[in-house]
Structure 1
Amino acid sequence: AAMREQKGGDFELHITGVDELIATHDSIVFEACNTSFQMHLQLEPEDAVDQYNWAQLIAGPVLAATANSPLLFGKELWSETRIALFQQSIDVRNSSTLLREQHPRVTFGTRWLRQDVSEVLREDVVRFDLLLSAELDARTSMQVLDEGGIPALEALSLHNGTVYRWNRLCYGTGGDAPHIRIECRYVPSGPTILDEMANMALWTGLMCGMRDEHRLLWAKMPFRQAKANFFRAALSGPETKLNWFGRLWDTRELLERELLPLAEEGLRNVGTDRSDIRHYLGVIRQRLSTHTGSQWLTHAARALKQGYQKDITLRRATALMHTNAATGTPVGEWDPAHPDQLTGHELKLERVYQVMSTDLFTVRPEDLVDLAQRIMEWRAVHHVPVEDHRGALVGMVVMEDLTRELGSGDGPSERTVKEVMRTVLTIMGPNDAISDMPADFGPSGCIPVVHEGRLVGIVSKVDLERLGG
């Protein structure tokens, strides 16, 4: 509620990939689509600045190797769509900020750290309004120190928890000692536990493998190169190119030649068993030679479509993913998805939305009949829904009616759709039961699906019969 009040309206999504997703909602419910595999690492105070900067630099290649979220609501978007989704789902900015520089609460950051970690904490206090408040210890931090205690910095921690940096610095206390830790928040979960452990080995190894040459990054490369790497990786995964200290690398080559050996070195530095290093980093190497989770799922959604509607395709892909994940085999070893791998039990269809087509071609009442006729001929269908400028269904043009009304005349007709459309229609809602559909679909061979007065889909007799309905 506090975020919506600050935004002054609904939250909006507009994510463009192979497909395009545009949606609005009056709450931050879209954020619930995000599931990450967070990794935390405590930092030595004297190394914290350099280690945080290093974490920012490796974020791009690590994200490319771990991407696993290419689809949202059936739309093929980014290789790691969570990155765009999380920022937009809780973005409290609005169009009135166009002329004023304002930053999203979900952020990669704007610059390297130079002196100490308080730089990023101060920036968050300065840039972002308070969203939450709580009853706090009345004593100041200095009073707690004077009394021999360890300050909890509750106000800072509470505010820090409402600023969602992909690499977030946090202050904490544990075991009667304060610490600074970094939270790596951009890595996705899944698709198997072994994949998650391998991702952790890669990131932890790189963090622990930072060399002296990786210090003082602010003097060696622009911050925007690291930021650009991150978003290129989110968009295209390992299929992109990344800038690494002035050289443009193929992402797979960068990981295999530079970063995986460095991760191996880092894991050895902290005493990790050599067999574990080979095992977990081997999962990453295998993934780079075949496919990431994102690449596998993208291929699956395409290969399993076979003319089915979106919901059915997603059910098939999800069922196959679940079957593969249950074996514990990492995603890099999964066979590419193929219809022959399906059992047929995936199509447990009960609701209309599961079988309706949402890729619709419509006309307006004032359009000429010739347009409706051409659409039906070009799309090889016997019907065209008619909707008004608000998207409300107002009728249906049926080929049988056009043939009867217009005959076989070759000349263009001046008649409008409104004159020939049917206005008495059988309609259903997206959540209605498929079993409640009428046996007779009528001359149009279809049933419009309407939600809150708007046309949202079409169920055709042909599609239903192909599914065994």
Structure 2
Amino acid sequence: MGEEISKDEFENKDFDTFREHLERETALLRQIQTEGGLSDQGPFIGLELEAWLIDHNFFPAPHNQSFLERLGGDTVVAELSRFNIEINTPVEEIAGEGLARMHAHLSDTLRQCAANANEDVDTVIAIGTLPTLREEDLSIDMMTPSNRYVALNREAMRARGGAPISFDIDSCRDDSGFAATYEDVMAEAATTSLQLHLQLADEKMAAAYNASLMLSAPLVAISANAPFLFGRPLWHETRIPVFEQALAQPTSLQRVTFGSGYVKDDLVELFEENLSEYPPLLPVYNENRSDTDFACLKLHNGTLWRWVRPLVGRSNDGKPHIRIEQRVMSAGPSVLDMMANAALYFGAVEEISMYIDEATSELSFAKARANLYVAARDGLGAEIDWFGNKARRPVASVVEDMIPLAESGLRKLGMAEHLIDKYLTTVSMRLETRQNGANWQLSQFDRHGDFHRLTADYLAHQKSGLPVHEWPN
């Protein structure tokens, strides 16, 4: 959800004062980085999982307020709509059994959430886009009560000059596609994701960020899990165009974006771009907070949704750090599948970072960006550009090559050997069977033609804990 804000109405002076704070904080972050003051701790990992509350008819259940009130704590929070929640796991070291602890925590939290949701005759499901979602479910009445969301919607629409948001998404299967217009940003609530966090020593972050951009396309292909929107088969990962179009702006610079290029030297460049190119949407500040809290910088960055996003935090050594948030992967299908995706990502980033200059010279940023949309549209059937031979290749063969790279990278990171085998074997089997979440959903619907049965079967398989490549249709 991001940090709640104290008000939802702003005056011109609020924007002026906020920008002054933002300029100071951005300059301070640059100074700290230049002087070597960013944390050198890591590797650390974390994740956020967005999920749906659904009722006994498998429709969205708008009960996150009563749900969260009963659940208590701060590791599960509200999302934009009343039927979405977000689960956060503790930060872990990747060495040893860290990913297994994260796996156990996420599994336990999902079980607790499901049990808690039963009080409202609901349950919880992790899936990119809910197959039973209806357009009326995305009305403004479904917005979670929050100053942040009220203000975000108003300011995002104001930045459009009040013009409605137009959706136009083609279908990878037929000529039907989907076109519509909306008067608010609530269509964003049709998408839920798995967001992976990676913190390394500062000198390693630029290479890891660029590697993360390059890996976005094969990651979205192997993890695709959102093939339907309002009863229509669209992209294998329809979440990608939905999120971009739900927050589209009438300028060349979009707030949901793959970015403008590889970073050259460090990740502070991205915050400097935030300052120079993007006007603030939520100008809320506290004069009593120190610039070293980077409160305005974080709030501004939270209104920009790069598919690979930098985040500022503070490490145990008291120093600020910049970590990576990889946002391209869908929620679900199983916890094991999501942990396998995480292992593939963390390991491949580590290995490709070792020769990042060569890789980025062979795969331009423009091609890496184009790859993302091809992979989101066609899933494991996509062909993408890749480095090495500079030729278009089936994305499945790229993922196949990523697996040994990830294995080597995870060994360098010190992950326990049995976990490397467990998680990467899961990816290998998914690749061998060509059954990721999107392909399972498409096949199941082709067989039965019923979105309620699809959702019911999906939920039962998810609760079983079996990886998606073992799910029957």
Q: Distance in 2 between matches of 1:140 and 1:324?
A: 49
Q: Distance in 1 between matches of 2:289 and 2:334?
A: 46
Q: Distance in 2 between matches of 1:56 and 1:239?
A: 20
Q: Distance in 2 between matches of 1:64 and 1:188?
A: 10
Residue 255 (str. 1) matches residue 399 (str. 2): yes
**1:375-414 alignment to 2 at 5 Å?**
none
Which residue of structure 2 lines up, in the alignment, with residue 157 of structure 1? 298
Distance 1:173 1:137, change over 3 A: farther
8 A Cα contact 1:50 1:217, kept in partner: no
Residue 11 (str. 1) matches residue 153 (str. 2): no
2:203 equivalent among 11, 29, 46: 46
State the shift of 1:211 in Å: 4.6
Which residue of structure 1 lines up, in the alignment, with residue 283 of structure 2? 133
Q: Distance in 2 between matches of 1:157 and 1:139?
A: 13
Q: Tell me the secondary structure at the aligned position of residue 136 of structure 1.
A: coil
**1:138-149 alignment to 2 at 5 Å?**
141=291
| Amino acid corresponding to residue 169 of structure 2 in structure 1 | I
**What's the CA shift string for 1:241-274, capped at 9, x where partnerless?**
1211113222222221x21001111111121111
TM-score by length of 1: 0.64
Q: Distance in 2 between matches of 1:262 and 1:44?
A: 21
State the shift of 1:210 in Å: 2.8
Unaligned runs of 5+ in 1: 142-150, 306-312, 338-469
Corresponding residue pairs, total: 312
Which residue of structure 2 lines up, in the alignment, with residue 113 of structure 1? 263
Which residue of structure 2 lines up, in the alignment, with residue 232 of structure 1? 374
Which residue of structure 1 lines up, in the alignment, with residue 383 of structure 2? 241
Q: Tell me the secondary structure at the aligned position of residue 466 of structure 2.
A: coil
8 A Cα contact 1:53 1:217, kept in partner: no
Q: Distance in 2 between matches of 1:61 and 1:174?
A: 31
TM-score by length of 2: 0.63
Q: Distance in 1 between matches of 2:396 and 2:289?
A: 53
Which residue of structure 2 lines up, in the alignment, with residue 427 of structure 1? none
8 A Cα contact 2:285 2:295, kept in partner: no
Higher CA-based Rg: 1
Which residue of structure 1 lines up, in the alignment, with residue 105 of structure 2? none
Residue 189 (str. 1) matches residue 342 (str. 2): no
8 A Cα contact 2:165 2:181, kept in partner: yes
| Amino acid corresponding to residue 379 of structure 2 in structure 1 | G
Q: Distance in 2 between matches of 1:189 and 1:12?
A: 25
The worse-fitting range, judged by mean Cα deviation, of 325-334 and 217-226 is 217-226
Greater share of helix: 2
8 A Cα contact 1:108 1:166, kept in partner: yes
| Amino acid corresponding to residue 173 of structure 1 in structure 2 | R
8 A Cα contact 2:206 2:265, kept in partner: yes
Residue 168 (str. 1) matches residue 284 (str. 2): no
Q: Distance in 2 between matches of 1:217 and 1:121?
A: 24
Structure scoring higher RCO (CA < 8 A, sep ≥ 6) equals 2
Q: Distance in 1 between matches of 2:366 and 2:249?
A: 24
Identity across aligned pairs (percent)? 34
| Amino acid corresponding to residue 418 of structure 2 in structure 1 | S
8 A Cα contact 1:112 1:217, kept in partner: no
**What's the CA shift string for 1:365-414, capped at 9, x where partnerless?**
xxxxxxxxxxxxxxxxxxxxxxxxxxxxxxxxxxxxxxxxxxxxxxxxxx
Q: Tell me the secondary structure at the aligned position of residue 293 of structure 2.
A: coil
State the shift of 1:163 in Å: 0.5
1:319 equivalent among 448, 451, 456: 456
| Amino acid corresponding to residue 274 of structure 1 in structure 2 | E
Q: Distance in 2 between matches of 1:41 and 1:213?
A: 19
Which residue of structure 2 lines up, in the alignment, with residue 410 of structure 1? none
Residue 332 (str. 1) matches residue 473 (str. 2): no
Q: Tell me the secondary structure at the aligned position of residue 91 of structure 1.
A: coil
| Amino acid corresponding to residue 320 of structure 1 in structure 2 | D
Structure 1 vs Structure 2 CA RMSD:
1.6
8 A Cα contact 2:211 2:353, kept in partner: no
Residue 267 (str. 1) matches residue 410 (str. 2): yes
1:276 equivalent among 414, 419, 428: 419
State the shift of 1:83 in Å: 0.5
| Amino acid corresponding to residue 238 of structure 1 in structure 2 | L
State the shift of 1:31 in Å: 0.7
**What's the CA shift string for 1:25-54, capped at 9, x where partnerless?**
222111111111111011321122111111
8 A Cα contact 1:61 1:233, kept in partner: yes
Unaligned runs of 5+ in 2: 1-153
Q: Distance in 2 between matches of 1:77 and 1:127?
A: 32
8 A Cα contact 1:300 1:317, kept in partner: yes
Which residue of structure 2 lines up, in the alignment, with residue 422 of structure 1? none
Residue 60 (str. 1) matches residue 210 (str. 2): no
State the shift of 1:192 in Å: 1.0
